[in-house]
Amino acid sequence: MTVYAKGVVFEGVDFDNPNHWRLEEYVKRGGYAALKKILNEKITQDEVIAEMKTSSLRGRGGAGFPTGLKWSFMPRNFPGQKYLVCNTDEGEPGTFKDLDIIVSNPHALIEGMIIGGYAMGITVGYNYIHGEVFEAYQRFEEALEEARAAGFLGDNILGTDFCFQLHAHHGYGAYICGEETALLESLEGKKGQPRFKPPFPASYGLYGKPTTINNTETFASVPYIIREGGQKFLELGKPNNGGTKLFSVSGHVNRPGNYEIPLGTPFADLLEMCGGMRGGKKLKAVIPGGSSAPVLPADIMMQCTMDYDSIAKAGSMLGSGAVIVMDETVCMVSALERLSYFYHEESCGQCTPCREGTGWLYRIVHRIAHGEGRPEDLDLLASIGDNIAGRTICALGDAAVFPVRGMLKHFRSEFEYMIEHGQSQFAALS
Amino acid sequence: MLSQESLAQIDRELAKYPADQRRSAIMGALRIAQTEKRYLTNELIEFVAGYVRIPPVAAYEVATFYNMYDRKPVGKYKLTVCTNLPCALSGGYSTAEYLKQKLGIGFGETTADGKYTLAEGECMGACGYAPVMLVNNHSMCSHMTPEAIEKKLAELE
Amino acid sequence: MLEIEIDGKKLTVPSGSTVMDAANSIGVHIPHFCYHKKLSIAANCRMCLVQVEKAPKPLPACATPVTDGMKVFTHSDQAVTAQKGVMEFLLINHPLDCPICDQGGECQLQDLAVGYGQSGSRYQEEKRVVANKDLGPLISTDMTRCIHCSRCVRFTEEIAGYQELGMANRGEFTEVLPFIGKTVNSEISGNVIDLCPVGALTSKPFRYSARTWELSRRKSVSPHDGLGANLVVQVKNHKVMRVLPLENEAINECWLADRDRFSYEALNSEERITKPMIKQGGVWQEADWQTALEFVANGLKGVIAEHGRDAVAAVATPHSTVEELFLLRKLMSGLGVDAVETRLRAADFSLKTAGATWLGQSIADLAASDAVLVIGSTLRKEQPLLAQRLRQSVKKGMQLAVINPHGDDLLTAKAAELVVRPDQLVEGVVQVLRALAEVKGIALQPNIENGSGDIPAEARAVAAVLAGKEKAAVLLGNIAQQHPRYAEIYAAAAAIAEATGAKLGVMSEAANSVGAQLVGAETGGDVFAKPRQAYFMLNAEAEFDVQNGAQALAAVQKAKLVVALSSFSSCALEHADVILPVSPFSETSGTFVNMEGRAQSFNGVVRPLGETRPAWKVLRVLGNVLGFAGFDYTTSEEIRDEALAGEIGPRLSNALAAPVAVKAQAASGLVRLGEVSIYQADMLSRRAPSLQKTADAAVAAQLRANAATLAKLGLAAGDRARAEQAGGVAELAVAVDAGLADDVIRVSANHPLTRALAGHVAAITVAKA
Ligand SMILES: Cc1cc2nc3c(=O)[nH]c(=O)nc-3n(C[C@H](O)[C@H](O)[C@H](O)COP(=O)(O)O)c2cc1C
Ligand code: SF4
Ligand code: FES
């Protein structure tokens, strides 16, 4: 179920129409107008990038890096091949917005990538799609065919000499491939093991060539920005937090789903849109930006607005916009155990602190959750976390530590109780 | 070792990448091989590596790194249930438990008649549709309540 | 140049340097495991974390580029805390089995753990156990000890050129392994043992035979190919226990080929002969040195008296030292014998050059070439480390072209390749020359017959690789040097070099091929074609060291007197009349001159086994026994100084002394491609049991041809075939080699199974066995 308030990415989409994703429908609701505008009006690359900067669009993949700025880093006049890559490897627990984009409005993404290619002088792009969503991958491939057949994609787009090839690459089950350099390795046919940066993809990316990578939602926001202007997009949100954003709400709400709302919307409003807490239970905690974000207790969360700055101030991250809502019945030890298992399972294994540390973290949380915790365990968890965070090649190491830190910060007593009594006041996840 | 149809599909994957970057197609090629043969034997991995022209151990690295490649025999239907936190909050574990009872097997096991294999999955990027289950890696089923499971199993007869 | 400050010391480094480079340049040691100067940067162990001013978190020195004005602290609290944290992670799953670990005493993890580790472990869970892997006969595994630095994996891919090892699975389940059922078959595989910072990969032959602190380390020089790799030979109780590389950037860098590393096994072989022996009335008897030497002296004098001095020939392999060969010459001069020959593997002795043939430049200069054409070489097996160097050069942009009678993979990109029948190697080179002449609009030299017909596209491609390159080289390999038309190949190659401004080079087949020429040990020609009455054989085995081994064996068997100076008994016992046990390289001092003309002297690392004596001493005493003047050397250095007096450089020259007529010949029928396989090339490799268990050794026992040729012969892979040459027969297993031209039968030469066969490149018949 996808609900939207003010649409950018899902502008005009009629979710009840099974054909709404098709090119024909997309064009009807204004699709590819942005591309046509650029090509017909001969808008320059610099103008496109300037518009992106005005919009203050921040990357929707998690890090929130300003997109216009990223695009300006691409060495546009680099003589060899350059690549544009879209990150649809959505695997961050709680996130499912990009899936809806490629299923329900794939042409917005395709158009956004074509415009990106134009702006940065790139002629080849790939969209890396999460392994578990094969049907969405097939849908996207079909949309690509439509775009090619209609002359929006491929050689001499709309009769101009601008060419852009776009292909879909299907992942096969590895969360780490969401990390952009792991994604590039995977795209090269290797294990998805992140690269050390620098060099950054803008200078050494896919096949060692300059590469720009953006999230699906980021690209899908581009047609709107070009068509309606960056200023209008910015004004949908708030300064430094331009536009609308998709929030994937899961957990104990009545209507889980994707909500496209302006950045800066109070969390309380979002919760209401979702039909409130399931079964009328009390809100206990929220993980506001995907499983890697530190958990926030209800009282802090209810004070937040849904934007990068507000959530950061509260001590967490907006991340990918995955909002995991937990009610009063949830055992936080059990919740952390599941998350720690995930990071242990998904560590790519190349760097020592993450490879060895995620397993250690999990084993300690596991023993606490199974009534075998020791008094020194909480300090040990903190210390191991300190030895992982900031010492690894990629941010998965940090991502594994943040949930632990968040839980220990806000729910330490629950852990202490469990260590002392050998059991929780709450029921384990079941 | 693989059908003409599968080889043609692999060729289509190869065509997506620059001619000197055939390695990029290994993930797709292994997926296609697995789809035809249900799981990847070492011989099959070596064959696919040869077709893509990369060292067999490089293909083996890929086949063992990504979760969805199966290197042991699996049942006719492999059911992967997501138990990550968002799904768990909406019944992921009960779905898994229901299936375990119903099929009489645990995670990583196959029913005696070789029909079903049950697997625990990580986040499938569809948490809003929890509980989520994947059939044979490629077909996603949402809202897998016990009733929905019954209905699905009936379809899979 | 960038300015950087490390631990308060200011220095400038070239831009592009990493913090690790900068620290190394001033001798500041930053702990590390995954970093290795010859491998790509992985930055995965995280041991090298250091504090960098203004950076919010510690950064890995190995991967962090220096920026101007950077301030680095390698021992600050932040750095040390980070390093200790990493150390703890590395140890939680590492077994505490140092007392039984072969790496004990030379383990980087152990060394660092002593400095960083905590006394007790905070990790209370069970440690991980990882199954061991079969990597073949040379490398032993203890995978539970692996710390996932990925050096070995990167080595196979980047240095050895083919990824034979991988890291399977992920996270903490990551395991290093070869593809299931495969082993590591690279000819330079043993380097992973050195690269492994812990005891996960160790030497299989060395396993459990000694603890490292019991070993003394002595320098030496590899007696195998013409590179002259520098060695550290490790010794215990006067026995060679292990061989490691001695780093020499100009020669072997930090690597060794497997035969450099593992051939030492032969030094301790049962086949060593340790007492002089004389055959009397068909029965071997031990003798004392004096008796044996007198027997030899009298025997030689007797033959000369009866049959004249031309009835005697001395042969030695170019694996012999400068000192040995010089004295051999001198001894023979004293006897009035002219024929002293080291070109035992040659079939064409007609080439005359202005000086000793050599690489034509230094190894380092060669590596900096823009283009290299290799003619007639199974490069990886003939020159494993040189092949490795060229592979690295190709990565930096060098173009490599080959003209070969096979299509063997060089595990690096070939810019162009012309594959011909082995008997058409001359014609192939001439085709390239024609293509060049056409491009350059020049005429061929009058002595070179212009082939007819179209120039094949491959030949044009080879020509294009060389044309217009600033720094190019044309190299001749063993197949060329051992070819029955070597002089013609050489002349045509020289013409290519001249037309393109490339340097012509010969890749010496043996450790002292250049030295042998410098002392003039090349005066005999084919001394077995017309059998002699007496043969004086130094470190040479007729059927294994001479191209036409069957013919050599027959000649030796017919001779009245055969004197064998050898370290090993087996062959000598069969056809010699007297055996003088002489030292292998490890038990004598001596000098090898490598292919770049560099003289490298070495000392014995252990004392001679039993009554074995260094050959130079034996030859000297023999000179005394014969009553010759000028045989009073007391050290090998005296001999060397006389043998190599003056500079070597001016005596090296690849210039032809006279033009060679190059005439096209037609090809017909089945032709043999015979090469001496990598582990049959010298006395030591032949007798190293572990090398004989390698995949390369197995390939050497096969008869190979392309599928069409096999079909024509009614053969299929796995069959057994009978090959016949000049009456000699070999029975071999059949395998397909798709890289061969039609009608080419590839059968290794001088192999126990093929020693009855005749020339390397000659007609052969094959039938199903
Ligand atoms: C462990 C990890 C997982 C990530 N997963 C995703 C993901 O699933 N999708 C995504 O777009 N970005 C993901 N990212 C962020 C990407 O590395 C990258 O910042 C992003 O794709 C850039 O696009 P944007 O600037 O449009 O956000 C992940 C990062 C890390 C460290
Ligand atoms: S932090 Fe973890 S996931 Fe990231 S590179 Fe290191 S081991 Fe791999
Ligand atoms: S040596 Fe730098 S991370 Fe391993």
Q: Is the CB of A213 under 6 A from ligand 1?
A: yes
**pLDDT beyond 80 at A3:** no
Q: Is the CB of A286 under 6 A from ligand 1?
A: no
Average pLDDT over residues B133-147: 95
Residues of chain A with Cβ-Cβ distance to C90 below 8 Å are 352, 356
Helix, strand or coil, per DSSP, at residue C344: coil
pLDDT at residue number C117 = 62
> Virtual CA dihedral for B41, B45, B50, B54, nearest 10 degrees?
-160
pLDDT at residue number C451 = 75
What token pair was written down for C676?
């001496």
CA distances from A83 to A113, A192, A193, C127 (A): 11, 18, 19, 44
If pLDDT is split at 50, 70 and 90, which confidence band does B96 have? Answer: very high
- Amino acid identity of residue C278, one-letter, is I
Non-local (6+) Cβ contacts of A215 within 8 A are A59, A60, A61, A62, A86, A87, A88, A98, A320
| Exposed/middle/buried for residue C38 (C-beta within 10 Å: 0-12, 13-18, 19+) | middle
**pLDDT beyond 70 at A5:** no
The residue count for chain C: 769
Taking the CB of residue A420, how many other CB atoms lie within 10 A of it? 10
Nearest ligand, CA of residue A354? 2
What token pair was written down for C728?
């000699």
Question: Across-strand partners of C240?
Answer: C235
**Is residue C504 within a helix (H) or strand (E), and if so which, with residue range?**
strand C503-506
The DSSP line for C541-560 is -HHHHSSSHHHHHHHHHH-S
Q: What are phi and psi of A170, to 5 degrees?
A: -100, 125
- Amino acid identity of residue B123, one-letter, is C
Distance CA C650, CA C356 (A): 9
Q: Which atom of ligand 1 is nearest to the CA of A346?
A: 1
Does B146 sit behind a cis peptide bond, omega within 30 degrees of 0 on the bond before it?
no
**pLDDT beyond 70 at A294:** yes
For residue C177, report the distance from its CA to the centre of ligand 3, in Å: 21
| Exposed/middle/buried for residue C625 (C-beta within 10 Å: 0-12, 13-18, 19+) | middle
pLDDT at residue number C571 = 83
Does A199 sit behind a cis peptide bond, omega within 30 degrees of 0 on the bond before it?
yes
Instruction: Return the residue matching tokens 């700055």.
Output: A309
Q: Is the CB of A65 under 6 A from ligand 1?
A: yes
For strand C165-168 and strand C175-178, is the pairing parallel, antiparallel, or unpaired? antiparallel
Distance CA C184, CA C379 (A): 19
For strand C216-221 and strand C201-203, is the pairing parallel, antiparallel, or unpaired? unpaired
CA angle at C456 for the pair C453 and C461, rounded to the nearest 5°? 145
Q: What are phi and psi of A346, to 5 degrees?
A: -100, -5
CA distances from C72 to A388, C41, C62 (A): 21, 19, 13
If pLDDT is split at 50, 70 and 90, which confidence band does A6 have? Answer: low
Residues C86, A387: C-beta atoms closer than 8 Å: yes
Of A62-66, A312-316, A385-389, the one with minimum mean pLDDT is A62-66
Q: What residues in chain B have their Cβ under 8 A from chain C's Cβ atoms?
A: 42, 46, 55-58, 60-61, 64-65
pLDDT, tens digit, for every residue of A92-103?
A: 999 999 999 999
Residues C166, B42: C-beta atoms closer than 8 Å: no
For residue C306, report the distance from its CA to the centre of ligand 3, in Å: 74
> Virtual CA dihedral for A114, A115, A119, A121, nearest 10 degrees?
10
Distance CA C667, CA C763 (A): 10
Q: What are phi and psi of A76, to 5 degrees?
A: -60, -30
> Chain A residue closest to B91 (CA)?
A430
Q: What are phi and psi of A294, to 5 degrees?
A: -60, 145
Taking the CB of residue A209, how many other CB atoms lie within 10 A of it? 17
Nearest to C167 among B42, B56, B61 (CB): B61
Residues of chain A with Cβ-Cβ distance to B133 below 8 Å are none
Closest by Cα among C219, C235, C229, C234 to C257: C229
pLDDT at residue number C212 = 86
Helix, strand or coil, per DSSP, at residue C92: helix
- Amino acid identity of residue A37, one-letter, is K
User: Which parts of chain C have pLDDT scores under 70?
Assistant: 117-119
Does C659 sit behind a cis peptide bond, omega within 30 degrees of 0 on the bond before it?
no
pLDDT, tens digit, for every residue of A135-163?
A: 999 999 999 999 999 999 999 999 999 99
Average pLDDT over residues A110-135: 97
pLDDT, tens digit, for every residue of A186-236?
A: 999 999 999 999 999 999 999 999 999 999 999 999 999 999 999 999 999
pLDDT, tens digit, for every residue of A242-256?
A: 899 999 999 999 999
Mutate to test the interface with B, among C165, C180, C184 (most CBs of B within 10 A): C180
Closest by Cα among C488, C489, C500 to C464: C500
Distance CA C122, CA C323 (A): 62
CA distances from C543 to A60, C554, C568, C759 (A): 74, 9, 14, 12
Global confidence as pTM: 0.96
C371 and C390 Cβ atoms separated by less than 8 Å: no
Instruction: Return the residue matching tokens 């042998």.
Output: C516
Taking the CB of residue B101, how many other CB atoms lie within 10 A of it? 9
- Amino acid identity of residue C251, one-letter, is I
Q: Is the CB of A87 under 6 A from ligand 1?
A: yes
pLDDT at residue number C118 = 67
pLDDT, tens digit, for every residue of C318-339?
A: 999 999 999 999 999 999 999 9
> Chain B residue closest to A103 (CA)?
B126
For residue C111, report the distance from its CA to the centre of ligand 3, in Å: 16
The DSSP line for B7-48 is HHHHHHHHTTS-TT-GGGGHHHHHHHHHHHHSS--HHHHHHH
Distance CA C71, CA C51 (A): 8
What is the average pLDDT score of chain A?
96
What ipTM goes with this model? 0.95
Residues B42, C181: C-beta atoms closer than 8 Å: yes
Taking the CB of residue A113, how many other CB atoms lie within 10 A of it? 26
Residues of chain B with Cβ-Cβ distance to C177 below 8 Å are 57, 60
Instruction: Tell the residue nearest (CA) to atom 28 of ligand 1.
Output: A179
Cβ–Cβ pairs < 8 A, chains B and C = 35
What token pair was written down for C29?
């040691």
pLDDT at residue number A4 = 61
Nearest to A353 among C46, C93, C125 (CB): C46
For strand C201-203 and strand C503-506, is the pairing parallel, antiparallel, or unpaired? unpaired
**Any B CB within 8 A of A345 CB:** yes
**Is residue C112 within a helix (H) or strand (E), and if so which, with residue range?**
helix C108-116
C601 and C640 Cβ atoms separated by less than 8 Å: yes
Q: What residues in chain C have their Cβ under 8 A from chain A's Cβ atoms?
A: 41-47, 49, 56-58, 60, 63, 65, 82, 85-86, 88-90, 92-93, 122-123, 125, 147-148, 150, 167, 169-174
